[in-house]
Amino acid sequence: MIRDTLEGNFHWCVIWGITFQCLGGLIPRTGARPLLALLGWLTLSVGTLLALVGFAFYAKSKGRSPAWSVLAVTSIIGWVILILLQPKNTSAMAGEHSQRNG
């Protein structure tokens, strides 16, 4: 049930993931305030995880491997590459494969 919801609404994972990453980056991580530093790291980690999950479902919807989502942690260049990812033409590949075997 959760997987189906995420698969249909992966863009919300990406949006919230990027938002949490930005918020986590704004929280100062100093030794003088360990609880605040922990909150910053947790927010940043949750944001990164949400972005990875969202981009994994995005890549899967394009017919690609969810491993492409690893590009999301590289930089904004990785996000651009993922966004510009073209869908794989699986029907043409399946037809070509069946012609070889037939």
The average confidence (pLDDT) of the chain is 79
Domain extent at residue 97: 2-101
8 Å CB contact between 64 and 88? yes
pLDDT of residue 83: 80
> In this structure, which amino acid lies at residue 98?
S
Q: Where are the alpha helices (DSSP H) in 10-89?
A: 10-26, 34-61, 76-83
> 30 by DSSP, 3-state: which?
coil
Query: Helices 34-61 & 10-26, crossing angle to 10 degrees?
Result: 160
pLDDT of residue 90: 58
Q: What is the pTM of this model?
A: 0.70
pLDDT at 75 over 60: yes
pLDDT at 99 over 60: no
pLDDT of residue 93: 46
User: What are the tens digits of pLDDT across the range 28-61?
Assistant: 766 678 888 888 889 989 998 988 888 888 888 8
pLDDT at 92 over 50: no
pLDDT at 101 over 60: no
Number of structural domains in the chain: 1
- The length of the chain is 102
Mean pLDDT of 56-81: 83
